[in-house]
Amino acid sequence: MIDIIGVSKRFDGKKQVTALDSVNLHIRKGEMVSLMGPSGSGKSTLLNLIGGLDRPSAGEIKLDGELLGGLTDDALTKLRRDKIGFIFQFFNLLPTLNCLENVSLPLHLRGWSTAKISERANELLNLVGLSQRLDHLPEELSGGERQRVAIARALSVYPPILLADEPTGNVDSSTGEEILGLIRDLHSRFQTTVLIVTHDKGVADSCGRRIALKDGLVVQDVTA
């Protein structure tokens, strides 16, 4: 499903920083993988590269056999919206839109009809247990609820890949459990390939495969 072949990422500044150094990974369809490592180990960078938000300095990434390197920005975006759902640590909900609108956003971007969007958005919010909060603005929700809205948004078209960057980093531990349970539930229900960046050992341990990064190198890759 996800092939990472010799991927390096360097950031040019006054001093060149190597965030990833010739990383090779193969993630199969339906795997639930955790990415761990200290700050600056390159785990978020790897997630961004897989999600097509950034491009590698060297190496190749294939999603479903498709090479990301050869795509234009817009083609990359199209690939992303069909195949990938993003869950961010800071939720990244649009503050001016209510829950329903936030969840509808990716569907609108795909140009779906209003009726279809409404149906799907309601379904998704129902799925994350927020059907009572459709017209609430993000600032009226608790942290866990916001993350659930974000997850519902990420699931918009039931993408085969779900990328989560510290999904529990900004909520208390019981809510974190709840969120993680939701992700696991979705993983098993839709056979979604899930990649979670975390530094919560508990979160990592709950994943089938645990990868650890340090200084841009894969230092551990364990499948339970």
Partner 1 sequence: MILLRLISWQYTRKHLLRSLLTIAGIVLGVAVFVGMHTANQSVLTAFTQTVDRIAGATQLQISAGEAGFEEDILERVQNVPEVRVAVPVIEAVMNPQTKSQANILILAVDMTGDRSLRDYALESGDESFIEDPLVFLAQPDSIMITREFAAENDLKSNSELTLNSMDGPKKFIVRGIMKSSGLTTAFGGNLAIMDVYAAQKIFGRGRRFDRIDVAVQEGLDPAAVQVKLEKVLGSGFQVEPPSSRAKQFESLSSVYGMLANITSLFALFIGMFLIYNSFAIAVTQRRSEIGILRALGATRRQIQVLFLAESAVGGLVGAGLGVVLGILIARGIAGSLGQFLGEVYGVAQKAEEVSSDPRLLVGAMVLGVVTSLIAAWIPARNAARVDPVQALQKGRFQLLTAGENRMRRWTAFGLLSFVGVSLAFGHGRLIFYAGYFAAIFAGVLLVPTLGLWLARGMRPALKAIWPVEGTLAADSLIQSPRRTSGAVTALALSVSLIIALGGMTQAAYASIEEWLRVALNPDMYLAPTQNFTDRSFRFPAELASEVEKLPGVRRIQAVRIVRLPMDGEPVMFVALDVSSVTQEARLPIVSGDGPTMYSDAAAGKGVIISDNFALMHNRKRGDVLTIPTPGGPLQMPVLGVVVDFSDQKGSILLDRSVYDKYFKDTSSNVIRIYLQAGVTVGQMRERIAAQAGTRFRYFVFTNEDLRSYILKITDQWFGLTYIQIAVAVLVSILGIVNTLTVSITDRRRELGVLQAVGGLRRQIRGTIWLEAVLIGAIGLILGCGFGAVALYYALETSARDLSGMRLAYGYPFRTVLALIPIILGSAFLASLAPAEAAVRGSLVEALEYE
Q: How far apart are CA 224 and CA 71, in angstroms?
A: 35
Nearest residue (CB) to partner 1, 80 versus 133: 80
Q: How far is the CB of 162 from partner 1 (least distance, A)?
A: 13
Nearest residue (CB) to partner 1, 58 versus 109: 109
Burial of 81 (0-12, 13-18, 19+ CB in 10 A): middle
Nearest residue (CB) to partner 1, 93 versus 195: 93
Q: How far is the CB of 101 from partner 1 (least distance, A)?
A: 7
Q: How far apart are CA 16 and CA 12, in angstroms?
A: 5
Rg (CA), the chain: 17
Nearest residue (CB) to partner 1, 45 versus 206: 45
User: What is the arrangement of strands in the sheet containing 217-223, beginning at the earlier edge strand?
Assistant: 84-87, 161-165, 193-197, 32-36, 209-214, 217-223
Angle at 67 between CA 61 and CA 68, to 5 degrees: 70
Q: Retrieve residue 221's tokens.
A: 């890759």
Nearest residue (CB) to partner 1, 105 versus 217: 105
Would you tell me which residues interact with partner 1 (CB under 8 A)?
45, 48, 51, 53-54, 73-74, 77-78, 80-81, 86, 88, 92-97, 101, 104-106, 108-110, 114, 117, 153-154, 156
